[in-house]
Structure 1
Amino acid sequence: MNDTALAVGLCLGSAVAYAAAAVAQERLARAGRAHSARTLMGAGAWWWSAGLNAAAALLHAAALRYGPLTLVQPLGALTLVAAVPMGARRSGRRVARTEWRGTLATVAGLGLLLLPASGPAPDDTLTLAEALGVSGATIAVILALTAVREPGSGLRHATASGLASAVASALTQTVAVAGGRGGSLFSVRVVSVALLVVVFAVGGMLLSQRAYRGGGLGAPLAVVNLANPLAAAAIGAFLLGERLQGGAAGLLLAAAGAAAATRGVILLTRLPAPPRPERMSPRTPATV
């Protein structure tokens, strides 16, 4: 099995785990148990989703060891494919036609972005200075996106979550590749970057939890899956030397993909938010 095929297989497993976690998080948010960190910590459903996110993150980290950032990140759109029917089934309803159209448009668009992004296994990684610079800039953008709390802010939190996840992935790739070359796992650079991974991974999860409040599952998850690969592609292009393949044709495919994915997100944002389920007990586990 070549590196690209292995990376894709690991991404598939990661996407299913992330989808199950997203469904659990969205249900927890609609049940009214996402108002504070203390409340979340007392909910068995939150720990269930945290465990799923951790498993997905490990698979994702392994994928980043074998595939470039611009290949691995767009495959995260498969999370949306799995999560929409999972969420509908969990709510005891059928997937609406608009949900399917929005989901398929988003995934098809990200697939077009994926085609010119396929490349060799990653070689370059972020230096400590680059990692700190990217982290600082991303934190500033996230604070700007989440500074104003008002109705309809869920998609801004979803965008912030996608940015946090993209940076976490870029930093994870640095740890995985640098540590896998025979370098020390306990060097200042690797340890510092690993700590930043934890900050952005946990932050991305909490931001997505906030995004699901009142916004349903499809639209926030679509925005996360759109912001994530676009931000990762920017990091890969400007700092890691990753380039789109195919020249002008590759750029046209990427542009078409971005347009289709944006159309899919718009369709998903037009869906009404699902009704709130009955309030769950703090010890009630989520079932998916």
Structure 2
Amino acid sequence: MNRGDRDGLPPAMTNLIIAIVLCVAVAIAYAVAALIQARHAHLTVSQLARVPVLWAAMGLNGLGAALHVTSLKFGPLSLIQPLGVLTLVIAVPLSAASARRRATRLELTGMISTVVGLAGLSLIITTTGNHGTLGSGALVGLVVATVVVVTVFGLLGRRPGASTLWEAVAGGMAFSVCSALCQTMVVTVGNGGLGTLLHPLSILAILAIGTFAVVATLLTQRSYRDGLSAPLAITNIVNPATATVIGVVLLNETLATTKLEVFLAVACALLAAFGVTQLARARDAAAHPAMDSAPPQRSAAAG
């Protein structure tokens, strides 16, 4: 028995505990930030800038991102990624508690279905990634493609009567691309030093990171205007899905899947989609309670 085993927990177990604690902290930070944003989702951008508590929400989002990066030093991505669904687990009951009510059956069913489906996808659809970096062509192409796709989805969400989930999709994609660019910059600076920050591609990446972070925050902010749960679930699904596509298409990663795993992944995706549908129904029921609770009208003939 070595000294580490005699004196306390082995290093691997200690790292695992630290990773889990950090993931819980990340989920709490993101959930509280989302709840704050949802309360002010009806405001315009100029109005948002004058609400001090929203700056606190941005700070919580930044803290969550920093803790997420830190957690990857203590635990594998296969563990960290599924624990990301804790945000939804915390946000749904927290939103209900802030409104001084209990979570509805639709909310609980949707939350559980989404969490199980997304966790299953994260565990099954894994990539053999090695913290690669985007090449010059891939980086420019990713930035241009993101601008186009996020703009299209964002505009779809701004149409009169359009679903807010369009903006949730756009926000999730922007957050994911921002993370991919951050990884590239961290690895690049680690390999080449601070001088690499002055390279034109590095400057482009830094500008893109700042822009996408702001755009993603504003899009998710708007997506909460009709309710928190469904848009937050969509963002939690789109973010890792986009990261997987980036890894496979641009970083030459391969999906570690068999035919059975693909089948299970499809089942998990359907379960997650069902969960989002339930959360959307819960949102609509909360917005129109009279339609759900009003008794059926008797006809004149029935007397």
TM-score (norm 1): 0.83
User: What does residue 88 of structure 2 align with?
Assistant: 80
Counterpart for residue 227 of structure 1: 238
Counterpart of 2:205 in structure 1 is 193
Q: Secondary structure at the match of 1:83?
A: helix
Shift of 1:74: 4.8
Decide which of 179, 192, 202 is 1:183's aligned counterpart: 192
Q: Determine the C-alpha separation between the residues in 1 that align with 2:87 and 2:170.
A: 17
Bigger drift between 99-108 and 243-252 goes to: 243-252
Whole-Å Cα distance in 2 between the matches of residues 143 and 90 of structure 1?
33
From 274, 284, 298, the equivalent of 1:263 is: 274
2:256 to 206, 221, 245: 245
Which secondary structure does the structure 1 equivalent of 2:255 belong to? coil
2:34 aligns to what? 22
Moved more, 2-11 or 125-134: 2-11
Secondary structure at the residue paired with 2:40?
A: helix
Tell me the alpha carbon deviations over residues 169-189 of structure 1, each in whole angstroms, 9 at most, x when there is no partner.
111221233333x42234124
CA displacement 1:113-134 (0-9 Å, x = unmatched): 1223456673312123212211
User: Gaps spanning 5+ residues in structure 2: where?
Assistant: 1-10, 288-303
Residue 153 of structure 1: CA displacement? 3.0
Cα root mean square deviation, aligned: 2.6
Write the deviation string for residues 25-84 of structure 1: whole angstroms up to 9, x where unpaired. 00112xx4x22x221010012111111111112122334567777775554322111111
1:186-233 per-position Cα deviation (integer Å, ceiling 9, x unaligned) = 4124443233222111111100011111x2011111111111111111
Which residue pairs with 1:279 in the alignment? none
Structure with greater Cα Rg? 2
Taking a change above 3 Å as real, the CA distance of residues 2 and 150 of structure 1, as seen in their structure-2 partners, is farther
Evaluate the alpha carbon distance shift between residue 173 and residue 127 of structure 1 in structure 2; reply closer, same or farther with a 3 A threshold. Answer: same
- Does 1:46 find its partner at 2:57? no
Higher RCO structure (Cα 8 Å, ≥6 apart): 1
CA distance in 1 between partners of 2:281 and 2:138 (Å): 39
Q: Secondary structure at the match of 1:123?
A: coil
Q: 1:166 to 1:47 in 2, by over 3 A?
A: same
Confirm or deny that 1:160 pairs with 2:170: yes
- The answer to which of 202-211 and 182-191 deviates more is 182-191
Number of residue pairs aligned between Structure 1 and Structure 2: 269
Question: Which is worse superposed, 160-169 or 75-84?
Answer: 75-84
Aligned to 1:281: none
- What is the match of residue 147 of structure 1? 155
- What CA deviation, in whole Å up to 9, does each residue of 1:260-284 have, x standing for no partner? 1111111111113556xxxxxxxxx
Q: In the TM superposition, what are the counterparts of 1:123-138 in structure 2 within 5 Å? A: 123-138=131-146
Distance 1:169 1:74 in 2: 17
Residue identity opposite 2:112 in structure 1: L
**Structure 1, unaligned runs of 5 or more:** 276-288
- Report the Cα distance in structure 1 between the residues aligned to 2:268 and 2:173, rounded to whole angstroms: 19
How far did residue 9 of structure 1 move? 4.9
State how far apart, in whole Å, the 1-side matches of 2:234 and 2:78 are.
17
Is the Cα–Cα contact under 8 Å of residues 22 and 67 in structure 2 kept in the other structure?
A: yes
Per mean C-alpha deviation after superposition, the further-off stretch among 160-169 and 121-130 is: 121-130
Give the direction of change, closer, same or farther, for the CA distance of 1:192–1:228 in structure 2 (3 Å limit). Answer: same
- Quick check: 1:61–1:176 contact (8 Å CA) kept in 2? no
The alpha carbon displacement at 1:88 in A equals 1.0
Counterpart amino acid of residue 130 in structure 1 = A
Q: Which residue is equivalent to 1:90? A: 98
1:205 aligns with: 217
Q: How far off is 1:89 after superposition?
A: 1.1
Report percent identity of matched pairs: 39
